[in-house]
């Protein structure tokens, strides 16, 4: 599996990374992150694409081998990476929203930090 994110306004970094797949990809809707709160907070997640009219696209999680951590969950989205927003307030996706931010991809260790669409 290859993750490629081009330079863009959604996230500061571009990336080209290869991972060995261990499981199937599943569509993802929320992730729990620990940057702001040691007990974790849930966030909506979407992929981000180069489609100017509708840049939000599906985000996925897939179990992969990670050389540093053994097995991990790779969270990836569109050609412009991932975009995150708080659960509340319910706002539309947009680059100009100060409550939202982008990342190229995530590697998460715990399946309990993922909420799938199905």
57 in Cβ contact with 71 (< 8 Å) = no
56 in Cβ contact with 83 (< 8 Å) = yes
State residue 17's pLDDT score.
94
In angstroms, the CA 59 to CA 26 distance is 8
Fill in the DSSP letter of residue 55. Answer: -
80 forms beta bridges with none
Mean pLDDT score, 68-81 = 92
Domain that holds residue 33: 2-116
State residue 70's pLDDT score.
87
The structure tokens listed for 107 are 């590697």
Q: How many distinct structural domains can be found in the chain?
A: 1
Instruction: Return mean pLDDT, the chain.
Output: 94
In angstroms, the CA 33 to CA 107 distance is 11
pTM summary value: 0.94
For the stretch 75-116, pLDDT in tens is 999 999 999 999 998 899 999 999 999 999 999 999 999 999
């Amino acid at each position: 599996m290859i993750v490629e994110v081009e330079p863009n306004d959604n996230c500061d970094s571009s990336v080209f990374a290869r991972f060995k797949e261990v499981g199937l990809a599943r569509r993802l809707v929320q992730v729990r992150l620990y940057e702001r709160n040691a007990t974790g907070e849930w966030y909506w997640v979407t992929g981000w694409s180069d489609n100017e009219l509708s840049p939000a696209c599906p985000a996925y999680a897939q179990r992969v081998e990670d050389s540093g951590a053994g097995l991990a969950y790779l969270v990836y989205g569109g050609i412009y990476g991932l975009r995150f927003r708080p659960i509340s307030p319910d706002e539309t996706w947009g680059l100009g929203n100060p409550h939202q931010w982008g990342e190229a991809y995530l590697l998460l260790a715990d399946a309990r930090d993922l909420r799938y669409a199905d």
